[in-house]
Amino acid sequence: MVVGIDVLSRLYRYLTPSEALKILIEGLGRREYLIDVRRALGKVLAEDVYSPIDRPWTNLSHVDGFAVHSKDTLGATSTSPIKLRVIEGVDPRNAHEYSLKNGEAVFVETGYPIPKGADAVIPVEAVKVVDNYILVYSSVKPGFNVTPRAGDIGRGKLVARKGTIITPALQKLMIDLGIRNVKVYDNPKVVIIGVGDELVDEVIPPTTSKIPNSSTYMVKGILNYYGANIVKTMILPDDPERLVNEIKELANNVDVVITIGGVSMGPRDYTWISLKEKLGVAKCFRGLRIQPGRATSGLRIGNSVVVNMPGLPQSTLASLVFILLPLINYLRGIGPYIKLPYTIAVNRRKIEIKKYPSFHRIRYVTLENKNAEIIAETDSYYVSPIALTDGFTIIPPGKTIVDENEKIKVYHLPPVHEIPHLEILR
Amino acid sequence: MVVGIDVLSRLYRYLTPSEALKILIEGLGRREYLIDVRRALGKVLAEDVYSPIDRPWTNLSHVDGFAVHSKDTLGATSTSPIKLRVIEGVDPRNAHEYSLKNGEAVFVETGYPIPKGADAVIPVEAVKVVDNYILVYSSVKPGFNVTPRAGDIGRGKLVARKGTIITPALQKLMIDLGIRNVKVYDNPKVVIIGVGDELVDEVIPPTTSKIPNSSTYMVKGILNYYGANIVKTMILPDDPERLVNEIKELANNVDVVITIGGVSMGPRDYTWISLKEKLGVAKCFRGLRIQPGRATSGLRIGNSVVVNMPGLPQSTLASLVFILLPLINYLRGIGPYIKLPYTIAVNRRKIEIKKYPSFHRIRYVTLENKNAEIIAETDSYYVSPIALTDGFTIIPPGKTIVDENEKIKVYHLPPVHEIPHLEILR
């Protein structure tokens, strides 16, 4: 016989993504450390953060204008203004050192504390200055143009919960509250290995003997956005001995080892089977209830996770969405899940699921005129649907028909800077 | 008099964002260069890209299995299989060198070319091997399990238009097509200057005399995501002479100079007026029809753009959304516009616009149970609405009431890794 495959030992026993993730992350540790808040953008909080101060720390003026006692303005009208005496020589930046008396007004600047006793600020453009008096043309209420102490956030109040991603705005808020360091989760260290004798790290037109190792770039680009720390990318030939030795070594030093390719039923598809048998791995799964991507497999080696992604590009991407991104999210202190922005669209062409109806499906979608057109079923070898469509829809297990005119969700996988047909701000 | 302001020369003449952008970008050049496609992630194409090859370059097998003549399988059934002779000694990776004759079958591997003459591949698990024959139990059509030449993309076909952002998937596709270098736009060089005597580059609780320069971090974090190349951040005191000299020098070397603060009507709000007068700038605007952020101003100095953002945080962010992001998008080869992901939500609390009804408004929103709650009108000094809400809605000019239960769009400003209440993939 030409081919001698020990089929039984390689057979898929398809699990749902959540069953597979449970095997991979059970008892898996996460690293935490203190970091200067100015370098913490994109990290995930490993502790609840509370405000150490009142913000603002005292009553501030919201405008450039005159701080007054509001009750002094009672009865002021455009025809019968009230006259208040301007106290000269008060530094507008230190006006809080002055105690305002009845009938007085003091010039203050935006964002600076108001004088003691003052409870309102009249904008400079709303008054008329005559000699050392101002004329006020309408009455104001207490608190007018005053930003009150603790109005933004009070001392001891919760700022952000453990598990929150530090966005640029949250980073700013924590700096404004004088929070110097925060405890965050360390980004997971990841190695990506392209597996196959034919792979080369060059940009060349593919041939029978040489294919560029391009999927590594796609996986790296997406994982980077999700906070993975890609410490290395490499190519390994179809050599089970070498593969096992390299991965065993890497698993001691990184959190996640990703292999792409060599997970199918062919005679050279050693990746998963060699690891399982030669390392005697107990925590593992072989096959996922997703399509494309059902050959996705994985193992736990100590405190590291190995995910074996299939090599056909659409399968690789599905594997990334259902297993890798939830796993990375878990390791960096969020998930084990993934949230994606989506567009609601109208399905243009009926989809029928014939094989594997109990699987999750990814189908690529092109959006048009605020409706959606599902493109024809494509070969998972093809890259153009991934690169040239606007996103994908997910057909849940058990659903075998998506009708014409049915509403579907089209998911967009970041990094996405432009999502066609979303609102345009011009 | 306490304050001596030349009010007239400082007065706002509010323009719409698109009017202001037109002044800033008219005749503005963009830099292009050739880059190795492997380093081009996130760049914008400065040329249309066409495929130099057919992908795949020949007919490939989609499975591990036996390449056959489909017509040889006519009439095969589960009870009456057809017998085909397996040609041994053919390298499955070089099967295309073999010419298949009638009645023959050759083992081929996934992703490798099929023999000459073959037009279908039967998966290994669908046949029974007996001696050097296979038994085929159902007839197959031409093209079965064959990935045809040019099926993914044909030679000469448009891959991506000028102005397209290179996503991880597009990068992979171009590598797969053997496209080594692409012409892209250079990322705009940006300097961010915090203006104010009180600013310090430390994380401290704010006081009357010292405030951390925190907005620079927020602006930098967001602009980085949008492809700005932040070459420098700095703090300058309220010294018009120094400000003008520094900005004049910077404008020779970078594309965009951003100042934050010092644009209001106070006596120390020199930023815009000093530049306009001391440099005799003609292309400029003073004030935007947006709220918050109406103090936003800008100037063109040669081939550089200076944007003066207001310093109150909510104003800074509005200014960023309506002017800075469209400007950066323009410079890197896309808009002068910005597209943001959004969630449709139901407004919980009536909003009434009292001042500036002809302005665009930003209002922060917290999403709950797939509805939206508009938080109470807030002071633009406050940071917590920016940091702790889920996004913002934009109320267009002329709209003065947003009713309870009215549908609104809640925009999410990237980088956003998690958008609450969007679909969760578990």
**A417 occurs within a structural domain:** no
**B372 occurs within a structural domain:** yes
**Are A341 and B1 a contacting pair at CB < 8 A?**
no
CATH code (residue A136): 2.170.190.11
CB B425 within 8 A of CB A340: yes
B376 in reach of chain A (CB within 8 A): no
The amino acid at residue A319 is S
A159 in reach of chain B (CB within 8 A): yes
DSSP of B307-373: EEE-SSHHHHHHHIIIIIHHHHHHHTTS-SSEE--EEEEE--S-EE--S-TTSEEEEEEEEETTEEE
What pLDDT does A419 receive?
55
A51 and A92 together in one domain: no
CB B380 within 8 A of CB B325: no
Per-residue pLDDT reduced to its tens digit, B170-224? 999 999 999 999 999 999 999 999 999 999 999 999 998 899 999 999 999 999 9
The whole-chain average pLDDT of chain A stands at: 90
CATH code (residue B406): 2.40.340.10
B108 in reach of chain A (CB within 8 A): no
B78 and B105 together in one domain: yes
Burial class (CB in 10 A: 0-12, 13-18, 19+), B205: middle
CB A173 within 8 A of CB A186: no
What pLDDT does B402 receive?
94
* Token couple for A342: 């989506």
Min Cα–Cα distance to chain B from A145, Å: 9
The whole-chain average pLDDT of chain B stands at: 90
What pLDDT does B5 receive?
44
- Structural domain including A371 reads 342-411
- Put simply, the chain B residues between 56 and 85 with a CB less than 8 A from any chain A CB are 56-57, 60, 62, 64
A195 and A305 together in one domain: yes
User: For A261-280, what is the mean pLDDT?
Assistant: 76
A38 and A181 together in one domain: yes
B181 and B195 together in one domain: no
Per-residue pLDDT reduced to its tens digit, A196-227? 999 999 999 999 889 999 999 999 999 999 99
Q: What is the DSSP letter of B127?
A: E
What pLDDT does A424 receive?
41
- Put simply, the chain A residues between 168 and 187 with a CB less than 8 A from any chain B CB are 168-173, 175-180
**Are B417 and A414 a contacting pair at CB < 8 A?**
yes
A210 in reach of chain B (CB within 8 A): no
Q: Which residue of B has its CA nearest to A96?
A: B208
B90 and B224 together in one domain: no
CB A3 within 8 A of CB A148: no
Min Cα–Cα distance to chain B from A28, Å: 18
A270 in reach of chain B (CB within 8 A): no
Q: Which of B331, B354, B374 is the last residue of a domain?
A: B331
Min Cα–Cα distance to chain B from A155, Å: 12
Which of the pair, B309 or A425, is modelled with greater confidence?
Answer: B309
Rg (CA), chain A: 31
**Are A206 and B176 a contacting pair at CB < 8 A?**
yes
**B257 occurs within a structural domain:** yes
CATH code (residue B166): 3.90.105.10
- Chain A contacts of B52, Cβ < 8 Å? 205
Indicate the pLDDT class of residue A153, thresholds 50, 70 and 90.
Answer: very high
- Chain A contacts of B332, Cβ < 8 Å? none
What pLDDT does B309 receive?
96
Question: What is the number of domains present in chain A?
Answer: 4
Indicate the pLDDT class of residue B1, thresholds 50, 70 and 90.
Answer: very low
**A420 occurs within a structural domain:** no
B55 in reach of chain A (CB within 8 A): yes
B11 in reach of chain A (CB within 8 A): no
A423 in reach of chain B (CB within 8 A): yes
- Chain B contacts of A226, Cβ < 8 Å? 417
A277 and A224 together in one domain: yes
- Chain A contacts of B266, Cβ < 8 Å? 64, 109-110
A259 and A208 together in one domain: yes
B124 in reach of chain A (CB within 8 A): yes
Which of the pair, B235 or A348, is modelled with greater confidence?
Answer: B235
Q: Which of A273, A298, A331 is the last residue of a domain?
A: A331
Strands B401-402 and B351-352: antiparallel
CB B294 within 8 A of CB B263: no
- Put simply, the chain B residues between 233 and 262 with a CB less than 8 A from any chain A CB are none
What pLDDT does B272 receive?
82
A257 and A271 together in one domain: yes
**A43 occurs within a structural domain:** yes
Q: Which residue of A has its CA nearest to B95?
A: A208
B8 Cβ neighbours under 8 A, 6+ residues apart: none
A269 and A230 together in one domain: yes
A15 forms beta bridges with A288
**A423 occurs within a structural domain:** no
CATH code (residue A234): 3.40.980.10
B398 forms beta bridges with none
Min Cα–Cα distance to chain A from B79, Å: 23
Min Cα–Cα distance to chain B from A210, Å: 11
The yes-or-no verdict on residue A104 having pLDDT over 80 is yes
The 3-class SS string of A134-192 reads: EEECCCCCCCCCEECCCCCECCCCEEECCCCECCHHHHHHHHHCCCCEEEEECCCEEEE
Per cent of chain A over pLDDT 70 is 92
**Are B341 and A338 a contacting pair at CB < 8 A?**
no
Size of interface A-B (CB pairs under 8 A): 322
Nearest by CB to A178, which of B203, B225, B266?
A: B203
What pLDDT does A279 receive?
86
Straight-line distance from the first to the last Cα atom of chain A, in angstroms, rounded to the nearest whole number = 67
**B302 occurs within a structural domain:** yes
B6 in reach of chain A (CB within 8 A): no
**Are B221 and A167 a contacting pair at CB < 8 A?**
yes
The yes-or-no verdict on residue A270 having pLDDT over 90 is no
Q: Which residue of A has its CA nearest to B105?
A: A2
**Are B422 and A221 a contacting pair at CB < 8 A?**
no
B224 and B323 together in one domain: yes
Peptide bond into A292 cis (omega under 30): yes
What pLDDT does A250 receive?
97
Q: What is the DSSP letter of A20?
A: H
Per cent of chain B over pLDDT 70 is 93
B334 Cβ neighbours under 8 A, 6+ residues apart: A417, A418, B44, B163, B165
Per-residue pLDDT reduced to its tens digit, B325-343? 999 999 999 989 888 878 7
**B416 occurs within a structural domain:** no
B367 in reach of chain A (CB within 8 A): no
- Chain B contacts of A312, Cβ < 8 Å? 110-111
Q: CB A83: neighbour CB atoms within 10 A?
A: 15
Place of tokens 């208040």: A84
B421: left (phi over 0), alpha (psi -120 to 50) or beta: left
**Are A388 and B227 a contacting pair at CB < 8 A?**
no
Report the candidate in B257, B233, B255 with the shortest Cα–Cα distance to residue B306. B257
Strand positions, DSSP E, A89-131? 104-108, 120-123, 127-130
The yes-or-no verdict on residue B361 having pLDDT over 60 is yes
Per-residue pLDDT reduced to its tens digit, B188-203? 999 999 999 999 999 9
Nearest by CB to A175, which of B17, B214, B409?
A: B214
**Are A383 and B94 a contacting pair at CB < 8 A?**
no
B68 and B50 together in one domain: no
